[in-house]
Amino acid sequence: MAATGPETPVDPQAVRRHRILFRTIAKRKNPKLRRTDITVTDEAAVKRATKAASLGNAMEWFDFGIYSYLAVTLGHVFFPSENDTAQLLSSFATFAVAFLVRPLGGMFFGPMGDRIGRKKVLALTMILMAIGTLAIGLIPSYASIGFWAPVLLIFFRLVQGFSTGGEYGGASTFIAEYAPDKRRGYFGSFLEFGTLAGYVGAAGLVTLLTAWLGSDTMEAWGWRLPFLVAGPLGLVGLYLRLKLDETPAFKKLEDENAHASEAADTIETSTKDDLAKIFRVYWPTLILCIALVGAYNVTDYMLLSYMPTYLSDELGYSETHGLLILLGVMVLLMLMINQVGKLSDRFGRKPLLMAGMLGFLVLSLPAFLLIGQGSIPAIVAGMLMLGLSLLCLLGTMSAALPALFPTPVRYGSLSVGYNLSASLFGGTTPLVITALISVTGSNLMPAYYSMAAALVGVIAVACMKETAQKPLDGSPPAVGTKEEAAELVHAQVAEPKF
């Protein structure tokens, strides 16, 4: 079917002369919903899907978080140097390397998820992440094998990054397509609950081991233990994901494609074709997604990944000190995040996202000035200011982003946009901030950097459409009960005129 351009304005005189004809045309363009068109979600199935996606996401970010929290120790083990800053930069550069390959993972796994299904691809990403993380824990140190130690570290970081490229887009798509339209924000918030749980698990384990073993033992062999935990955890996540059914939206799409393919069996699609379509047709939405994710990721990684290093290396606090404070902040965010998801269902995605972006724009500088004061109450107050701003983004973004794209290209488009942005702006955040502080000598550079990102975010949120309580683009309405479905159908029936 040929692509249609903007509709030609209809002559009002013609409408008056041919009312029945134009009414018929309008009905064909916007057919009424039938009861069979509406998806009635199964509450138990939605909860199972949410649990599996969130737990899998928690395990992915547990694996990823370990590296960021052990950045200083890993710098000593794999990058011997007399200059502490150079050592830290080398460690964070290796952290960033995983993000550079994430877009390739997104371009590989995303279109695959749109063609063969969300469930299979999410299981594959889980396996790869577990292998990559487990392998890092087994690499000999620089003192043992020299040059090959950092080479192997970088290789397995690339494996981690490649697998993560298919994770967020798939997990958020999975939950969004399972959840009823009116509760997508609430169920979507569990995905970031899983992210925080992964970070908390990683930070908690690193903190306990550091306090128990001491810095010298951690550097000698203790750093390996958190990585070695990844294998068993990966198997748990894989088991949960393989038990799930495919999403209702993808099943419906598969059925429609099966009918269409009967008339066009010779047509084949490939990842290359799917990617070309994403960049050619959906580039405006892709740019919007990149801007939103860029602002979100800079602030996210600045607080959840970089902050312990900032407190210990730039401000001189002990590593355990910084991790414990961040741990408390993240636990508080976990307790509140689902309420933010509910608020986004009630008031809309845009108000919550705008509140978070404006929070970082206005509060970043005061927060870092407080953190620089040195007292524990001042540090906690500063971290809470940043944490509550981030909470507005965490509780809303996982429902807002999948709704940007239609069902046939949702996994692929979101994976490409999310990971391009995460690669450019997320994973490079610790590296960029460390370098900026080194060049300028100012400990306030993290504040200025997050403010710049928040400004981009404010503009992006202003440009996006509100999607709360609306069906996903390209999918039928999804409701929680049969009564809601009946109400939707009944609402289309015109009241008789007398």
- pLDDT higher than threshold 50 for residue 5: no
pLDDT, residue 267, reads 38
Q: Is 113:412 a contact under the CB 8 Å cutoff?
A: yes
pLDDT, residue 255, reads 65
The proportion of the chain whose per-residue pLDDT surpasses 70, expressed as a percent, equals 82
- Which residue would you say has higher pLDDT here, 260 or 223? 223
Q: How confident is the model at residue 276 (pLDDT cuts 50, 70, 90)?
A: confident
Cα gap 190→417, rounded to integer Å: 21
Q: What is the mean pLDDT of the chain?
A: 80
Helix (H) or strand (E) run with residue 215 in it = helix 184-217
| 3-class SS of residue 478 | strand
pLDDT, residue 261, reads 45
Global pTM? 0.79
Q: Is 114:408 a contact under the CB 8 Å cutoff?
A: yes
Mean pLDDT of 295-318: 81
pLDDT tens figures, 55-79 = 877 877 787 778 777 877 887 788 7
Q: What is the DSSP letter of 9?
A: P
Strand partners, 39: 478
pLDDT, residue 492, reads 63
pLDDT, residue 179, reads 86
pLDDT, residue 174, reads 82
Q: Are strands 39-40 and 478-479 parallel, antiparallel or unpaired?
A: parallel
